[in-house]
Amino acid sequence: MLSEMELAQLFVSYAEANKSAEEIKVKIEEEILARGGSQTMAGVEAKFYQAGFETPDYENTAKANMPKNFDLSPFSTTKTTVKWKEVCDAIGVEAPQGAPTEARVLVGMAKVKAKK
């Protein structure tokens, strides 16, 4: 069994390692954002996601512009969900573009593929 001092040192080491890992992660994210492409090295993956737009709000756009007594059944699934984009298309309206999203990077350990 470890002494209280040894256990405390493990906690301190763990906290320092996490702080160091977070600082390294931020540097990797900045570099991958600047390069604009995913990278995997030494079992670490930095996945790049391009800037884009969120999905438009088709449902509220369609509901706000839908004629009275509009038949939603052709656009509904068996779970009684509605394909709002198709409703917007059917009634001839275009949903406003979704909110912009910023480019981002996710850093984590790469998945190892099992050998057959």
Q: Using one digit for the tens of pLDDT, what is the confidence trace for 58-88?
A: 999 999 999 999 999 999 887 778 999 999 9
Residues paired with residue 4 on neighbouring β-strands, in sequence order = none
Q: Which two tokens stand for residue 102?
A: 């910023």
pLDDT value, residue 102: 92
Q: Which residues contact 76 (CB under 8 A, 6 or more apart)?
A: 82, 83
Checking if the pLDDT of 116 tops 70, the result is no
User: β-strand 52-53 against 44-49: which pairing, if any?
Assistant: unpaired
pLDDT above 70 as % of the chain: 96
Distance separating alpha carbons of residues 49 and 36, to the nearest angstrom:
8
The pLDDT tens digits for 36-65 are: 999 999 999 999 999 999 999 999 999 999
- Judge if pTM exceeds 0.75: no
